[in-house]
Amino acid sequence: MLKLIGNLLTNIEGSRYRGMGSFIIANMYEEWIDRDCDNFVNKITINVNAPNMHEHLEDIVKGGDETAFVVYGGKNAPEDEIFHIALLMIRRDFGVEYVDCMANPENPSQMKFEAKCRDLCRRYNKTFVSSDELFSYIPSEETYDFFPPQTAEQQFIGFYKVHRKYFHASIQKSSENEQRRMIQFAERYGGHDGGDCVFWASHIAYHLQNDHISAYDWFRQQDWFNEPDIMRAGSYILKYVTNKIFESLLRCQKSKNKNRRTMR
């Protein structure tokens, strides 16, 4: 493992470290994207604004197991629709699950897509798990009882950029390395369209596939999921996601090193 970490640190151009005990990847999410670290998930893409979206979605829903990245924004999108990636999992044991880590019950594009999924699942007699079920929608308040993780993460990072003292106080219980990663990650957040939505979709798909668990149960196993305060939830989630991106980056490098050895 130490050799693997050493190789990773050596291979990342422009990074600065103070020895093996305190390594930090300055552009961690950029490295994760550039190294194509989500390629362990076999996925297809659904663009919600594509002219043939309904036919494409129907083929996926009525078919077998599939992992799809749902793409908002881009070509043919409404002017106010931001770029974002959500996850659609189709599995025989769990039905059809829509997992949107930035779900918003007031987002018309999301509501329209989920409605189409629900209609198709009724037609083909499949269970559909929507954002309302995952995050426990409260009709009287028109909001979710639980915070979608990327939403809480963005709220906390946005607050940090205005009130930095609060941010530092909130992460004091983290280790020195974790604090550095969180600060650097927060400083660079927004450098990619959609923030870190690609990682969230890949990370959850990986665990749902490998742990053979429902999205509903996976979320409720996370310590940060039950936190009722969005700022505390955001601080816990930021620590979680920076650690998981770092772990994924190491796993990605390990896999590529292994493949290079196999090809020799």
> How many angstroms separate the CA atoms of 185 and 191, rounded?
10
Asked if the model's pLDDT at residue 172 lies above 70, the reply is no
Asked if the model's pLDDT at residue 21 lies above 70, the reply is no
87, 99 Cβ separation under 8 angstroms = yes
Confidence of residue 166 (pLDDT cuts 50, 70, 90): low
Q: What is the pLDDT of residue 191?
A: 66
Confidence of residue 37 (pLDDT cuts 50, 70, 90): confident
pLDDT in tens, 1-18: 333 333 333 333 333 323
pTM for the full predicted model: 0.84
Give the domain extent around 93.
Answer: 2-263
Tell me the pLDDT of the chain averaged across its residues. 83
Total domains, the chain: 1
What is the arithmetic mean of pLDDT over 31-60? Answer: 89
Confidence of residue 260 (pLDDT cuts 50, 70, 90): low
Confidence of residue 186 (pLDDT cuts 50, 70, 90): confident
Q: What is the pLDDT of residue 24?
A: 44
Q: Within a 13 Å sphere around the CA of 34, how many CA atoms are in the beta-carbon half?
A: 8
Asked if the model's pLDDT at residue 261 lies above 60, the reply is no
> How many angstroms separate the CA atoms of 45 and 61, rounded?
13
Q: What is the pLDDT of residue 259?
A: 58
Angle at 101 between CA 151 and CA 232, to 5 degrees: 40
> How many angstroms separate the CA atoms of 26 and 37, rounded?
17
Confidence of residue 171 (pLDDT cuts 50, 70, 90): low
101, 86 Cβ separation under 8 angstroms = yes
Asked if the model's pLDDT at residue 137 lies above 90, the reply is yes
